[in-house]
Structure 1
Amino acid sequence: MNTAFIGLDYIVDIMHPDGKIARSAAHAAARNVIENANRALAIAAQRDWLSVLVKVGFEPGYADLPARSPIFGRARELGALALNGPGTGFHPALDAHAANLVIVKPRVSAFYGTRLEAALRATRIERLVIGGVSTTWAVQATARDGHDRDYEICIVEDLCAAASDDEHERSIDTLRGIARIVTVDDLATL
């Protein structure tokens, strides 16, 4: 089955201890999310899957920032998620060069306002293997959008993190309704 690996928001502002809105940084570190993401990128290359890294960010001046959004509302005030700043750089330990494609998203879902779907259709992708931070927001939104576009969805549980174990587990339980939940060790046999 034609498969794409999609890694979501493995960026400094969101998941590095120095990030400006890094509520998930400690959980991601405790779960070895970056190490696991690097393993997933290597497996994707071995299996000849399309590898896509997606990051959220806004243009200088924040003209494309959704001002009424509670989740993004303080980004401008904090100087977070600015595409011209270091916060939207990938986590320094991530093997970002292993990805075939990098996509910038202006909202929570990797599909909204991006070229992701065109890339998936061009390469005849049927299955999305998704991991990212946070499980509650980017992973759920992208999985739901992918599901509704008729892709088979697999969530790589140990590539995901949230603000807490409880938040992460609740999200994974919810995702079971639309996705197969796997681990990075399962990727070699998908």
Structure 2
Amino acid sequence: MHTLLRIDSSIRIQDSYSRRMGDYFVSQWTLKHSNGTILERDMARAMLPHLSQNTVNGFFDDSIFSEELSLSDELIEELYQSSEILITCPMYNYGIPSSLKAYFDLIVRTKKTFTADSGIKGLLHHKKAHIISVMGGVHSVPGGMNPLEIHVTSILNHLGITDISYFPLEGTAFPQDLSEKTKSVETLICKHLN
């Protein structure tokens, strides 16, 4: 059974390019996996708390309990349930949204998603990840990744996820050729999923 965990991080509920590309990805993924399950985690509809000292203490001390730790366990369980992960990520002030950073801070946990007994070893093996990154400008190095992809990839690798596909939509601040750029990303998604 295929399960896709979709993580949206745009603050825009409407008129979001990353959400629109995410919707397109899900529609194509569903065609391929008609019996698949989709889990959704939307950072704008259910904001996550930022790390606190008590939460971090609880990462290393099983006697501590809090709502944040319970939420962290819930988020990690969603990752284990999924076979594929879709992350839609717009660029805000040259980085990932703070809501996505809060998500990562709650799921990167020793003995839960990685171990550090003899070097860092991720525990989320055999999962595929897909990153849809959206930027108003053009930030990719020719033939390389853009800053969002680099950041998210580093975290996913830390968790043991190395099978990652990228679907960047850059230059959304320049509407004259945006339709063509969007179609290009949709074509890339179709080729990848078929």
TM-score tier, shorter chain, comes to 0.3 to 0.5
TM-score by length of 2: 0.44
State the structure with more CA Rg.
2
